[in-house]
Amino acid sequence: MSKRGYRIFALLSVFFCLSSMISQTTASVNGMSDQKTPILLTKDEQQYVNAHPIINIAFMTGSAPIIFSENGEIKGILKNILEEISFQTGFEFRYTEADNRDMLSAMANNQEIDLIGAIPSQYLSEALHNKHRTKPFLISDTTLFMRIGVDASKLSDYVLALISGSQVPEDIDKSKVKFYNCREAVLNAVEKGMADYCYANEFSIAYYSIKNGYKNVMSIPQNKDIHEYFLIYINEDEKLISIIDKAIESLSIIDLQSIILQNASQIERNISWETVMYLYATQIILIALVVMIILSLLLLLIYQSRKQYKRHTEQHRLLTRISGEYIYEYDVKKDILILSDETVNILNIPKRIEAFKKSEFFQKNSELRELIHTDKAGSELSLVLKNGDAEIFRLINSAIRNKKQEPDYIVGKLINISEEKQRLHDLRIKAQIDGLTGLYNSDTTRTLIKQACESSSDTSALFIIDIDKFKNINDSYGHPMGDKVLTEIALSLKKCFRDIDIVGRIGGDEFCIFMSGNITQNLVKEKCEQLRRVHTVSEYDDYVFVTLSIGVVLSKEYAKFEDLYKIADEALYKAKQNGFNGYHIHLIS
């Protein structure tokens, strides 16, 4: 392959990293939902935040775009994640940059910091390996980064670049290894020929390739180590761990996609004299031959051309990354909205709308206005389609900004999540139900009764029902018969009680029912008598006769669920003492 061919391949490799790492990385983070979950702090946790509002966090130099310092300002994916955590919790994060692993370990040993951020487990010291850590908020594949001309099948013959403190692979000759302080230094060493190859995460390779304009290297994805990025707690402070873990759990896939998109799309490339000569050698030679006035005009023309080229390149890059069917673009200065053909087909509006803010579509449809708001990324819209159906869409967009940080273009896409929303609703309902009996499960039963107790001032009754000698049934007839007994009893309870009553299974053979609304003692006795009858359960030629023992507390005043449950459980015990197939009612006047 020619040198020019290798350069084209290297550029394609960087582009592949940028376009694929957003969707692949966020979808791989274990436990992350695609729906943001509100964070709810306990009273003790809130008091902890008030008492310890400042959290000190350290990170390694050269970790862009995960976290890094630029012109005295902390930037990167983790910085944006911590800003979201700060908003959710009230913590203020203060950052310290460590030049190497020894400096980082010293800060941890001296208790100068509370957290360490964005260091994969492969580069942790032995002491830090034992520290408590959060769930990974980012996962990245390993990529081989090597100079053009290096034979990837004979890497053992070449010089490997590593970060200081990293372990040398067993199959590598130590004499062929060079160490550098940070990731950027390692990549620069390969570019400049001081080393031949290294391994790095796809994020850093993509970032520094764009920033530093590497042209002597190429990247090859590897099925090698996975880099997981997380926060490490220096002190085993349970409240801090609980609060931070809750905040990270609340982050959704869409949150991470937006954060990664923002950091990956706003990379300022370092323009060196070598780069200018590579791109504009002919122009510079011609400029050197003309008078000073022509030189000034050409320099101005080059500046304007580069500015326009950068804008259109980033615009194309964003449109490529935001892969999907319903894409749109908005020119802020010209006030022009342009839709893809697929978007036109579902929304039944023109493909190109000039003077969009003054158009009838903008004035009459408030949902369409959300498309051009840069702070609406991840929000949900209800849009009426061409066929008249209302569907729910998730909005993802990003802005290309000028030097004043004002948006010049907005590009984005709409994702139809109607089926997903319905599926999540069905899953929430399913999570409340006991899989065997179809009644509320234990957690849901207790939660619903607690809520009913808090809101009810009428006379209420709490039943605890236990199947007599249920263990004997399982032992004598087998667990399938036991399951059928539970199912039949659950069906009897549904028939006996009202639809508004809370009926649930709270244990193996224990059921709990809550009735409210001026419940009388006669009504409670009537329900108990109905349940006292012998229940016959048959399975082929086997017949099982089942009886129930019932404990009831009847309360005429407000009472907590825990108190009612304790009294009803004592009543159940008394009912069993008096023999099976009986009930006992305790009245709280």
What is the model's pLDDT at position 375? 60
Torsions phi, psi of 246, nearest 5? -60, -45
| CA dihedral over 365, 371, 376, 377, signed as positive or negative | positive
What is the model's pLDDT at position 280? 59
Q: Name the residue with tokens 């796809």.
A: 202
Which pairing describes strands 177-180 and 160-163: parallel, antiparallel, or unpaired? parallel
pLDDT at 15 over 50: no
Torsions phi, psi of 517, nearest 5? 105, 60
Q: Which residues contact 358 (CB under 8 A, 6 or more apart)?
A: 335
pLDDT at 386 over 70: yes
Average of per-residue pLDDT values in the chain = 81
Ranges 12-26, 65-79, 172-186, 448-462: which has the least confidence = 12-26
Q: Which two tokens stand for residue 96?
A: 């310290």
Neighbours of 103 (CB within 10 A): 16
Task: Report yes or no on whether pTM surpasses 0.85.
Answer: no
For residue 87, the one-letter residue type is F
Task: In whole angstroms, give the CA distance from residue 566 to residue 572.
Answer: 10
Task: In whole angstroms, give the CA distance from residue 191 to residue 198.
Answer: 11
Mean pLDDT of 228-256: 85
Task: In whole angstroms, give the CA distance from residue 262 to residue 226.
Answer: 23
Give the confidence band of 26 by pLDDT, cuts at 50, 70, 90.
very low
Tell me how many degrees the CA angle 207-108-165 measures, rounded to the nearest 5. 55
pLDDT at 215 over 90: no
- List the one residue out of 424, 514, 420, 425 whose CA is nearest residue 464: 514
Torsions phi, psi of 323, nearest 5? -75, 135
What is the model's pLDDT at position 6? 41
What is the model's pLDDT at position 374? 62
pLDDT at 554 over 80: yes
Tell me how many degrees the CA angle 230-88-67 measures, rounded to the nearest 5. 35
Task: In whole angstroms, give the CA distance from residue 538 to residue 288.
Answer: 101
What is the model's pLDDT at position 279? 53
Q: Which two tokens stand for residue 445?
A: 């039963």
- List the one residue out of 445, 472, 447, 450 whose CA is nearest residue 545: 472
pLDDT at 36 over 60: no
